[in-house]
Structure formats: structure tokens, C-alpha cells
């Protein structure tokens, strides 16, 4: 079974992981812990309390109790530990057929904003997908396929009434930078307001998240060896998959051929033709002479960034 980013896995121990790759080892799926049982948690499902992972460090600390979910220096779910798989397009289909709470009625309204996009190319992920949302939950809305995603961004750009207020952007900023503020709020606001990947419906914020269609998925992913931390300026020559996870920016440089970011903060951060300053880690492909810079070695990406150099 081919899993994609934004899919969720429930394990036999009652842990919930978000799938983080399109390509996986034969015996497991690359995924990151998102929710775990905890009697002090503010999420509930079938009478059980859950906590949402607060940081990368928090997830690894918790998984010391379940070392079989650590795969080298990353997280992955062995196939024999899977209880259930949740697919965003199936989640939206269920909500359409039987909305159970007010938030799910809002999900339907978000789907209708993008009525030009076929229903089977849309979905919902995160807490709504796995039945663990609460009154404070946002909507993580999925669009499948790059052309459909660009259409969705155009629709948001044309409907300014869906845009967030400055106060709502500041709330998003605090979530994105819970500790070290790598970008100032004014910087963050400038980038976010030109991305057109977020909106609100009846007071609830929604993110529009990209997932590749199956025919857009590369056959394999190269393995890389980390070399050193680096700062670099370069011109973006292709940002076709800057919306993806990881976000991919092809660059013109003698040092590296691309910049990739595994943190959502730097998705759609720069566009083709712009010059960027990048602070991240230089890596070399193990099986070929190919270099990249990775930004977001942790979810928080402290001390790592992508900035547009404005003339």
C-alpha cells in the first residue's frame, strides 16, 4: 500500500503518527508522532485522553518507551504495528455523508469554496481526520495534485474576505515559533500574506495543504549524508514544488542544486526568479554527486531559515 504525506497511522499501542514521506522502506512507513495517550491530555477519543506532541524533542522523549518506532535517527511505524490507516480524502467523504459536529459542517463549507476542484481531489487531515478535534481546532484541508493546488491558491487570492486579520496571523506566528523567533512577526506576516494557503471560515482558521497525486511521486528518493551547517545566497530557478513537504527550491549555485525544507514555515517561502538567503545544513547524495541544503532538521527549525533578499 502506498501512503503519502498527510495520511495518518494509528498503532496497536494507541499512538497516532502523521506520514511524512512518499517513499518508504519495505517493512515500515516514515511517520512522525503527533498524538499519544495521556490522562492530562486535552483531546479525547472513545473516552481516552490524548496529548498533541508539542515539539520534536517531546516526541523523541516519549518514544523512548517505544524504541521500535525509532528508525536510525528518524521515526517510522513498522507495518506489523499498524492498527488503522486514515486517508484525508476518505475523511472528507465521511464528513460529507455524516457531519457530526459544528466544525465538520465548516469543513463542508471549506470544500465548497473550492468547488471547481473534484471532491476526490480534496481531503481533511490532522485531528479532524482521526476524530480528535476540539473546540479550538483549526481545519487542515488537503488538495491533491499540483494543478489543483495552484487553483485553490488562486481561489483564495480572489476571495479576500477569507483572509486572516493581523491578530489571527500573530496567533499563527506564536504557534510556528514557540521558542526562538527566527523570523520577526513583520517578516513572517510579509511571507504568509503572499502565499495564499490559509483562510478562515466562520471564525475558524483553515490551512490548505498540498499532497502529490500518485503520478507526481518520484520512483525513489536519494539518501543523503550531512556535511556541515552553511549559509548561502542563490537564485531560485524552479519553485514548482515549493508547496510540498519537503518544500523544494531548485537553485543556481556552485555549492548545491536545491534547497529543501521539512518545516511548513518555509513552504512557498520564495518564488521562481527570487534570490534567497538560506541557513541550513549542506548534504551530499550518497550514490551520486548531488548536493542540497536542508532547512528544518527539527520541526521548529531553530536557527535555520529561508529569506528572500529584497532589492
What is the distance between the alpha carbons of residues 44 and 239, in angstroms, rounded to a whole number? 39
- Tens of pLDDT, residue by residue over 241-266, are 999 999 999 999 999 999 999 999 99
Q: Which domains does the chain have, with CATH numbers?
A: 8-85 (no CATH), 88-214 (no CATH), 224-308 (2.40.50.140)
The answer to whether 173 and 185 are in contact (CB under 8 A) is yes
22 contact partners, CB below 8 Å, separation of at least 6: 2, 4, 5, 212, 217, 218, 221
pLDDT of residue 61: 95
109 contact partners, CB below 8 Å, separation of at least 6: 201, 202
pLDDT of residue 169: 96
pLDDT bracket for residue 60 (50, 70, 90): very high
Main-chain dihedrals φ then ψ at residue 91, nearest 5 degrees: -65, -40
The pLDDT of 95-117, averaged and rounded, is: 96
What is the distance between the alpha carbons of residues 13 and 37, in angstroms, rounded to a whole number? 9
What is the distance between the alpha carbons of residues 66 and 100, in angstroms, rounded to a whole number? 34
pLDDT bracket for residue 176 (50, 70, 90): confident
pLDDT of residue 25: 94
The pLDDT of 61-69, averaged and rounded, is: 96
pLDDT bracket for residue 145 (50, 70, 90): very high
What is the distance between the alpha carbons of residues 25 and 76, in angstroms, rounded to a whole number? 9
What is the distance between the alpha carbons of residues 62 and 40, in angstroms, rounded to a whole number? 14
Reduce the secondary structure of the chain to three states and give it as a string: CCCCCCCEEEECCCCEEEECCCCCCCCEEEEEEEEEECCCCCEEECCEEEEECCCHHHHHHHHHHCHHHEECCEEEEEHHHEEEEECHHHHHHHHHHCCCCHHHHHHHHHHHHCCCCCHHHEEEECHHHHCCCCCCCCEEEEEECHHHHHHHHHHHHHCHHHCCCHHHHHHHHHHHCCCCCCCCHHHHHHHHHCCCCEEEECCEEEEEEEECCHHHCCCCCCCEEEEEEEEEEEEEEECCCCCCCCEEEEEECCCCCEEEECCHHHCCCCCCCCEEEEEEEEEEECCCCCEEEEECCCCCCCCCEEEECCC
The residues pairing with 9 across neighbouring beta strands, listed in sequence order, are 17, 85
Amino acid at each position: 500500500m502506498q501512503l503519502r504525506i498527510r495520511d495518518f497511522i494509528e498503532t496497536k499501542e494507541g499512538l497516532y503518527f502523521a506520514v511524512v514521506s512518499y517513499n518508504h522502506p519495505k517493512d515500515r512507513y516514515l511517520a512522525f508522532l503527533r498524538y499519544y495517550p495521556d490522562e492530562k491530555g486535552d483531546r479525547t477519543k472513545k473516552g481516552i485522553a490524548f496529548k498533541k506532541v508539542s515539539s520534536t524533542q517531546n516526541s523523541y522523549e516519549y518514544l523512548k518507551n517505544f524504541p521500535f518506532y525509532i528508525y536510525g535517527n528518524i521515526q517510522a511505524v513498522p507495518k506489523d504495528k499498524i492498527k488503522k490507516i486514515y486517508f484525508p480524502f476518505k475523511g472528507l467523504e465521511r464528513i460529507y455523508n455524516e457531519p457530526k459536529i459544528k466544525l465538520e459542517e465548516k469543513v463542508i463549507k471549506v470544500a465548497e469554496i473550492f468547488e471547481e476542484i473534484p471532491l476526490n481531489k480534496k481531503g481533511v487531515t490532522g485531528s479532524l481526520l482521526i476524530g480528535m478535534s476540539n473546540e479550538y481546532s483549526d481545519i487542515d484541508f488537503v488538495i491533491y495534485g499540483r494543478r489543483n493546488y495552484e487553483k485553490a491558491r488562486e481561489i483564495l487570492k480572489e476571495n479576500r474576505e477569507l483572509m486572516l486579520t493581523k491578530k489571527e496571523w500573530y496567533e499563527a506566528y506564536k504557534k510556528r515559533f514557540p521558542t526562538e523567533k527566527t523570523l520577526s512577526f513583520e517578516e513572517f506576516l510579509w511571507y504568509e500574506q503572499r502565499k495564499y494557503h490559509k483562510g478562515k471560515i466562520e471564525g475558524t482558521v483553515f490551512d490548505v495543504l498540498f499532497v502529490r497525486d500518485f503520478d507526481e511521486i518520484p520512483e525513489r528518493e536519494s539518501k543523503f549524508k550531512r556535511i556541515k551547517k552553511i549559509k548561502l545566497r542563490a537564485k531560485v530557478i524552479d519553485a514548482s514544488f515549493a508547496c510540498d513537504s519537503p518544500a523544494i527550491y531548485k537553485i543556481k549555485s556552485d555549492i548545491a542544486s536545491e534547497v529543501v525544507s521539512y518545516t511548513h514555515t518555509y513552504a512557498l517561502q520564495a518564488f521562481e526568479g527570487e534570490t534567497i538567503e538560506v541557513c541550513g545544513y549542506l548534504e551530499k547524495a550518497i550514490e551520486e554527486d548531488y548536493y542540497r541544503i536542508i532547512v528544518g532538521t527539527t520541526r521548529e527549525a531553530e536557527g535555520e531559515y529561508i529569506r528572500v533578499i529584497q532589492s
